[in-house]
Amino acid sequence: MAACGSERAFGSGGGEERADVRALLRDLKGLPDGMRKAGDRPWKPPVKSKDRDCKLIFDALSGRPPKSGLRQRAEVSLTGDLLGEDGGIALAAYSGDAAHRHHSALGDALSGCEEMGSSDPVAATEFTAAPSEVRDLGEDTHTRTFQGTLNGFPYQIEVVFSRVDDTLVSVVHTSLGEADGSRTAELARFALARVRSGPPGDVR
């Protein structure tokens, strides 16, 4: 799969450039309107799951990507103006063909994670997987929606996994009620563009 063609991604070279993946998330100018940085810590999932596929997905989204071949990672959590809106971007740069392998495994996991919820029935937190309305992000992209309730309130989680050369790009966007798929796509495009071209002011 080669969604970005022959375009050379930031950090895909050698030496010092390969050590700067974290610079991609230091300046977040260009985020979708109303979204802003909430902190340097990863996005925190609203529920934990013991299911192998679900755990793989939400570990990657929350700063715990697959370890084999991992050479660097970076995360940022986000908040938005909509009710209950938050999200995150997680980048993981790998050696060799590890990014391709892990990206494929995450795609399989999205197909395998069907339900998850809190072990506490009083919490009224449960989610069911559904097809995502996020489109047109390239061949190297997997998407999924998890919809349900968080502490009894309607809640939706949009998930995007993509790959640019040796870097996995994981994006999550959530909201009370229904998350806006167009904003999810816009957030994912922001992250992908960052990885492809480097941080603002980067001259290569």
Contact (Cβ atoms closer than 8 angstroms) between residue 163 and residue 169: yes
pLDDT of residue 1: 31
CA angle 9, 15, 21 (to 5 degrees): 45
pLDDT of residue 122: 62
Alpha helices, H only, 123-175: none
Identify the H or E element spanning 91: strand 86-94
Structure tokens at 186: 């816009």
- Sole residue written with tokens 């974290």: 22
Question: Which domains does the chain show, CATH number per domain?
Answer: 40-197 (3.40.1000.70)
pLDDT of residue 163: 94
Backbone φ, ψ for residue 100 (5° rounding)? -65, -45
Which of 165, 142, 160 lies closest to 2, judged by CA? 165
Dist CA 125 CA 151 (whole Å)? 5
Dist CA 200 CA 169 (whole Å)? 18
Number of Cβ within a 10 Å radius of residue 31: 18
Dist CA 104 CA 144 (whole Å)? 14
Catalogue the E-assigned strands of 2-69.
36-39
Which amino acid, 51? D
Give, to the nearest 10 degrees, the angle between helix 98-112 and helix 52-61: 120
pLDDT along the chain (204 residues), means of 10: 40 48 88 91 89 96 96 95 93 96 97 86 83 83 94 94 95 93 94 85 50
Structure tokens at 13: 């070279």
Distance of CA 14 to the CA centre of its chain: 25
Contact (Cβ atoms closer than 8 angstroms) between residue 157 and residue 172: yes
Which amino acid, 115? E
Identify the H or E element spanning 189: helix 181-197
Backbone φ, ψ for residue 19 (5° rounding)? -95, 5
